[in-house]
């Protein structure tokens, strides 16, 4: 026995409509995580209500921390550091996680660190047994973000392209709303698309005819609206056409990014990475190009505390901390502004 105490990081995720808690152990890896989704709370409004989200985070965070500690058979005194999502996200929701983390860290006399939400997603595949090695291209796809990142090392990120308007997850949700589907719209649209005929309609692949790696999905959403107005009886076919166009566009841009940066590894993360059509498209591309493609497991595609615990652990264990006792958040925060580990 070396006698060296393991470093255990508590991760708190509260950037939007899911409260996630995770525990990461320096020797054992992820040792516990729990998630509470606010889907039912926001469903009647057809989207996230920030004030309701913040209030629910207040109610859920401490009970979830207690539950995860009990699951891992640990107490607060066993924690070495606390990581919390400091941004990007909803300001009120971020403040809840930040306040809890800072208060706990102060009372336990341990360090705390504000983590970038999208770095959490980007590193989530490192929670798996088969992990990507650096450098790699990351496709980050969620309700709020669509971006391609050249990842040279942890914290050494170059954004190659991003959405100029709607993120792809947002476009999925809005198109689902046009079709009269439930909330959250993205998964509902993907489920309906399984019944659709992909030859019924041909939707455009936006911005593939021009150079560069930026995205635009608002026009695709509008195309879906116009098609639905003419063919309201063909919801499943429209859902299928939209999904095929969106996932094909992402694949084409991924291929460009891999070739441009001369990379042979692709990481796909964020809520939309759970989409089976997208995974099939990218897996087929990977086989054709000799590229290894990695995803987080389904439960870690959406927001979760495990990814924040991991991202925080990688930084806290190297001595990075958010100094001072102030409750600090960054609702807008670029990946390129992060420190290299």
Q: What pLDDT, on the 0 to 100 scale, is given for residue 1?
A: 39
Q: What pLDDT, on the 0 to 100 scale, is given for residue 3?
A: 63
For 196, residues 6+ apart whose C-beta sits below 8 A from its C-beta are 236, 237, 238, 239, 240, 241
Of 163, 120, 91, nearest to 332 by C-alpha is 91
CA distances from 151 to 144, 257, 267 (A): 20, 12, 10
CA distances from 11 to 19, 137, 195, 323 (A): 11, 25, 39, 17
**pLDDT tens for the 341 residues of the chain, in order:** 356 889 999 999 999 999 999 999 999 999 999 999 999 999 999 899 999 999 999 999 999 999 999 999 999 999 999 999 999 999 999 999 999 999 999 999 999 999 999 999 999 999 999 999 999 999 999 988 999 999 999 999 999 999 999 999 999 999 999 999 988 899 999 999 999 999 999 999 999 998 999 999 999 999 999 999 999 999 999 999 999 999 999 999 999 999 999 999 999 999 999 999 999 999 999 999 999 999 999 999 999 999 999 999 999 999 999 988 888 899 999 999 999 99
Task: Give me the sign of the Cα torsion angle 220, 299, 279, 195.
Answer: negative
Q: What pLDDT, on the 0 to 100 scale, is given for residue 264?
A: 98
Order of all β-strands in the sheet with 265-269: 156-162, 146-153, 136-141, 265-269, 292-294
For 244, residues 6+ apart whose C-beta sits below 8 A from its C-beta are 198, 203, 277
Residues of the chain by 3-state class (helix, strand, coil), percent to 5: 45, 20, 35
């Amino acid at each position: 026995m070396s006698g060296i105490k393991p470093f255990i990081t508590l991760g708190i995720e509260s950037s939007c409509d899911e409260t996630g808690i995770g525990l990461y152990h320096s020797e054992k890896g992820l040792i516990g995580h729990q998630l509470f989704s606010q889907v039912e709370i926001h469903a009647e409004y057809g989207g996230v209500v920030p004030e309701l989200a913040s209030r629910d985070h207040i109610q859920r965070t401490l009970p979830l921390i207690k539950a995860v500690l009990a699951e891992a058979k640990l107490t607060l005194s066993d924690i070495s550091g606390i990581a919390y999502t400091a941004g990007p996200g909803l300001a009120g929701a971020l403040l809840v996680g930040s306040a809890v983390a800072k208060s706990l860290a102060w009372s336990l006399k341990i360090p705390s660190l504000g983590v970038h939400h999208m770095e959490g997603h980007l590193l989530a595949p490192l929670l798996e047994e088969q992990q990507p090695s650096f450098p790699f291209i990351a496709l980050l796809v969620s309700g709020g973000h669509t971006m391609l990142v050249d990842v040279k090392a942890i914290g050494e990120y170059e954004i190659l392209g991003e959405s100029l308007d709607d993120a792809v997850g947002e476009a999925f949700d809005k198109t689902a709303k046009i079709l009269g589907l439930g909330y959250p719209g993205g998964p509902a649209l993907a489920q309906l698309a399984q019944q659709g005929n992909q030859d019924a309609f041909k939707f455009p692949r936006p911005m593939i005819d021009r150079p560069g790696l930026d995205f635009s999905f608002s026009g695709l959403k509008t195309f879906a609206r116009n098609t639905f107005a003419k063919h309201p009886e063909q919801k499943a076919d429209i859902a299928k056409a939209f999904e095929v166009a969106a996932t094909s566009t992402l694949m084409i841009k991924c291929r460009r990014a891999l070739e441009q940066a001369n990379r042979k590894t692709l990481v796909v993360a964020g809520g939309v990475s759970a989409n089976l059509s997208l995974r099939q498209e990218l897996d087929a591309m990977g086989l054709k190009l000799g590229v290894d493609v990695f995803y987080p497991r389904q439960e870690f595609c959406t927001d979760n505390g495990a990814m924040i615990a991991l991202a925080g652990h990688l930084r806290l264990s190297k001595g990075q901390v958010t100094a001072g006792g102030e409750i600090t958040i960054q609702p807008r925060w670029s990946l390129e502004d992060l420190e290299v580990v």
